[in-house]
Amino acid sequence: MKTLDKKVAIITGAGSGIGRAIALLYSSEGAIVVLTDVDDKGGNDTLNEIKSKGGEAIFIKADTSNPQDSERVVNETMNKYSALHISVNNAGISGPLSFTGDYPIEGWNKVISINLSGVFYGMRYQIPAMLKSGGGSIVNIASILGKVGAKGSPAYVAAKHGVIGLTEAAAIEYADQKIRINSIGPGYILTPLLTNALDAATMKLVEGLHPMGRLGKSEEVAELALWLSSEKASFVTGSYYNVDGGYLAQ
């Protein structure tokens, strides 16, 4: 039997990068995957790739910063599959690059609404559905910048620190109700989120920040998410795992 055989999983930000890699891996391990993204094309590309390999999935266009969208995704999932066992709250943006004293208010609000409030909105509706389904596993994608600071990204750093704290609080609340909640802290991963934000020279500099001397791959993050979502991690909750090529060990 496959690792996630017949488990129903919601994955946000599944249109590219880490979200797409997680969706493809979960599907290959037997999960029924509910894909969400604000990007129609990206979401449907992931959907078509899953279906071409014989997997079962649906795509729902949704904005994680909108609580009504998060509620709608869960409701549509429950109406179609009558269960929710796994969720991966992955959707996120990098936001503007500027020091705190000059940081645009609009940029701050957007980053916090997607990267932090979006995770809360997701769990707010996912948890009741999981309780009805007999339990489950939630994986929140944080960042290495959820543990340390970085110049020029105050909103991103604050949001990702918040994701880790939110994960820990919720994990304690539902530990005795068969819901496990954990977070992952990727290092700099080779995704459109990164390549669209940095030029070639900066990318080379960022590679050198990792003791392994390279950027991570989305598939490497997906493998950890799979383990956390599976019964192999049955005694793991409230934890934070970094996938960062040694970045935080420095």
Catalytic residue positions, numbered: 156
Looking at this protein, which amino acid is placed at residue 49? E
For the chain, the distance separating the N- and C-terminal CA atoms, rounded to the nearest angstrom, is: 40
Contacts (Cβ under 8 Å, ≥6 apart) of 250: 211
CA dihedral of 171, 172, 177, 179, whole degrees rounded to 10: 10
Angstrom CA distances, 13 to 40, 141, 222, 231, 245, stand at 11, 11, 13, 24, 23
Q: In what order do the strands lie in the sheet with 179-186?
A: 57-61, 32-37, 8-12, 86-89, 136-141, 179-186, 240-243
